[in-house]
Amino acid sequence: MTKREKYQALIDACVSHMDDEDKRIYRPIVEYALELGYTPKPIQKSQKTAKNENGDELAFSKSRVSRTLLRLHPGFTKPPVNYQIHQEGKAQLRLVFFATPEYSEPFRFGLKNKNEAFNFKYTGCYGCGRCKGDEGYTYTYPDGKMVFRCGIELIELPPLAPEHVEEVKAMMKAQDEFWMNKERAKND
């Protein structure tokens, strides 16, 4: 079995546990991650689902940039404590998209929810050394309050609709280009 076939088998296993609507939404997203050079890796701690007792959550990472672009779970029966946005039985996507300055409501909602999930406790730069404190998301509230969240965070999104697939793919491309440009600059 080639690497490509192995990766496709992991994707197929994950997607096979989704309902038909989620398959149409999330398969193109994870296959695009593969096209961009992100490889799927099963998450061993993944929560079991009603349809799959082993859980098939996948993380898509690229060794060249040492980053994880997204994680996808085929559908929870009961969400883990750290998942704030959840619809039972629906696929769950967590995505890094800070390289995209503007985005639609599901992404703003995911970021707002991530900020508020722990009363703003985990906002700001974490000081991890991967950047100069400038790689992340800025959410502006209606009262003008601005909150920065570290870009290493994968933002949990609400269930997506088919019309969001192309936006997600554009965000993934922008994020990949950001990381690849940063990697090239380090090597120049």
The per-residue pLDDT of the chain, averaged, comes to 86
What was the pLDDT predicted at 51? 46
Q: What is the pLDDT of residues 58-76, one digit of tens each?
A: 999 999 999 999 999 888 6
What was the pLDDT predicted at 45? 58
Mean pLDDT calculated for residue range 100-129: 85
Higher pLDDT, 101 or 187: 101
54 pLDDT band, cuts 50/70/90, is very low
Q: What is the pTM of this model?
A: 0.87
52 pLDDT band, cuts 50/70/90, is very low
84 pLDDT band, cuts 50/70/90, is low
d(CA 107, CA 185): 29
d(CA 48, CA 82): 15
d(CA 150, CA 139): 11
